[in-house]
A = this chain, B = another copy of it.
């Protein structure tokens, strides 16, 4: 068996929305796609089989968490992240940079990289573009992300420019450090905050480095959906048509629909998993809080058209009971459902793009969200 090249082909387009197929050493991923977040080598509250059953084709691992525990070297000794977590499919890992900024203590950002202390035991680490790339190699990540600096929001044009330029220099160093293997890829990350000229500059510089894909970073950091869509309105056009586009850390189901409409192919977000642990259900009829007493005698399925374990075997009343009693099965079942909902939203989007009905698909989905649990 020959390992396939890392490739991305478009299967269809509807306006700017794209339906594609990503091929990797670890399997194929129809796009648009949502990547479930498996922070520390596990999608929280889910067995790997349960993740597969949601329809997920690719998951994300967090370099920051994994480099601290169990360490990249140990993951490598255990045969790589795929083997360790029983996920033979594609895995994308982030660079660690974003979570250093949000979680670590005593961060120091310099030209060479970031020095930080672990939020767990205070140990000092230095993460450079080269080391981040090496760690992701040790993890056996299918898609490696460059180390970047995620510019804060709001930022002046000057701040955003300096930050973006640092990310470009780090992109070059990350690219140089990446060891090419058949079926593996590395993505560069566009920065530039809300400034069109900077986004354009960033994209051109990254494209020069010929990455296997491009991420759009520095969004979903507090700017709001309207501003995010405004930035996306221009910035996907700066990226090559033939490469996958990944919008990092996004988002709500509505964010996903709007971003797909603007030419994005890949997403990741903790939202469906975190919501699953805090009783928030994403459904075809909107978002429900399962702790609400309205559900205590509700014998209907959470989402009547959903084929997940939670919806086919249990009632809203049982879910409500599990969350009231703080039983682990509540988060287990609701994470299963939420991830299944996100996957089916993206599967539906793909099908609609292929038949050039994406706009009416989105309109129908959004109409349904207004219906509420009792409809």
Residue of B nearest to A322 (CB): B42
**Contact status B79-A44, CB under 8 Å:** no
A309: chain B residues within 8 A (beta carbon): 47, 49
Interface string of A21-47 (1 = CB under 8 A from B): 000000000000000000011101111
**Contact status B48-A313, CB under 8 Å:** yes
A105: chain B residues within 8 A (beta carbon): none
Of B47, B69, B322, which one neighbours A329 at CB under 8 angstroms? B47
Q: A362 at the A/B interface (Cβ < 8 Å)?
A: no
Q: A114 at the A/B interface (Cβ < 8 Å)?
A: no
State the copy count for this chain.
2
A317: chain B residues within 8 A (beta carbon): 70, 74, 78, 84
A357: chain B residues within 8 A (beta carbon): none
Interface string of A85-109 (1 = CB under 8 A from B): 1100000000000000000000000
* Interface positions of A (Cβ within 8 A of B): 40-42, 44-49, 65, 69-70, 74, 77-79, 84-86, 296-297, 299, 309, 313-315, 317-318, 320-322, 324-325, 327-329, 331-333
Known: A45-B328, A45-B329. 10 other contacts (CB 8 A): A40-B321, A44-B327, A45-B332, A47-B333, A49-B309, A65-B325, A70-B317, A70-B324, A74-B297, A84-B317
